[in-house]
Chains A and B, each alone.
Chain A
Amino acid sequence: EAQVTQNPRYLITVTGKKLTVTCSQNMNHEYMSWYRQDPGLGLRQIYYSMNVEVTDKGDVPEGYKVSRKEKRNFPLILESPSPNQTSLYFCASRYQQADTQYFGPGTRLTVL
């Protein structure tokens, strides 16, 4: 089954404790993105990647890192999480720009 998976689905952590949210797709897609969703603000892009080892900043990259060492994986790293990073995070992938973007199920992160 074609899908985007994220782990964990739920995470509660404390300020400053490094964490990684994994994202994997099994569709051989070129493009992958991370978004955060906050009430009243919609989805805002954090980082995106157009291929292995090619990443770029989205609209709200501060406090986040990403890597794309393999085509299928695109982890999101929070080196020192802060409470303002409490949010619902979505990973997404698509083959080309005009194609449908497939979203993962979301990761709800709470930073205390």
Chain B
Amino acid sequence: AQSVTQLDSQVPVFEEAPVELRCNYSSSVSVYLFWYVQYPNQGLQLLLKYLSGSTLVESINGFEAEFNKSQTSFHLRKPSVHISDTAEYFCAVSDPGGSQGNLIFGKGTKLSVKP
């Protein structure tokens, strides 16, 4: 079965500093990869996703993630964070060849941006 590991449960960072949130998944077969964001007291919303093609995917608010098949990783990065990026970020994986209902989430990383 697929599993997702988010290596950091909390990441504190100062405003305008770069940040990387790490995500590794268990399977070496083809997968779909997602990052979701949860702002305080809200539901989850999609940040970006990798399905195929270019290994670097970007979101509209400056985040990017790179799919690395050999390292089974999908780390999320932003070169300069804002206070408004404070949220919990979840990495998720779906196996195209497996159960089509199953989207497996990591335990989340809380990003705290300080002024």
B105 touches A97 (CB 8 A): no
Number of contacts between A and B (CB, 8 Å)? 59
A100 touches B46 (CB 8 A): yes
Residue numbers in B under 8 Å from A25 (CB-CB) = none
| Chain A residue at minimum C-beta to C-beta distance from B52 | A98
Chain A residues numbered 62-112 whose CB sits less than 8 Å from any CB in chain B: 90, 92, 97-98, 100-101, 103-106
- One of B53-61, B79-87, B92-100 at the interface: B92-100
A58 to B90 Cα, complex, angstroms: 18
Q: Which of A31, A49, A100, A101 has the most CB of B within 10 A?
A: A101
Interface size class of A (residues with CB under 8 A): 20 to 34
Cβ of A33 under 8 Å from chain B: yes
A3 to B36 Cα, complex, angstroms: 17
Cβ of A41 under 8 Å from chain B: yes
A100 to B59 Cα, complex, angstroms: 13
Contact with A along B26-54 (1 / 0, CB 8 A): 00000010101000001111100101000
A86 to B46 Cα, complex, angstroms: 26
For the complex of A and B, the 7 pairs showing the least CB-CB separation, nearest first, are: A48-B101, A42-B107, A103-B43, A43-B105, A103-B44, A100-B46, A42-B108
Given contacts A43-B44, A101-B46, A103-B45, 11 further A-B contacts (CB under 8 A): A40-B107, A42-B90, A42-B105, A44-B105, A48-B102, A92-B44, A98-B32, A98-B96, A101-B44, A101-B103, A105-B43
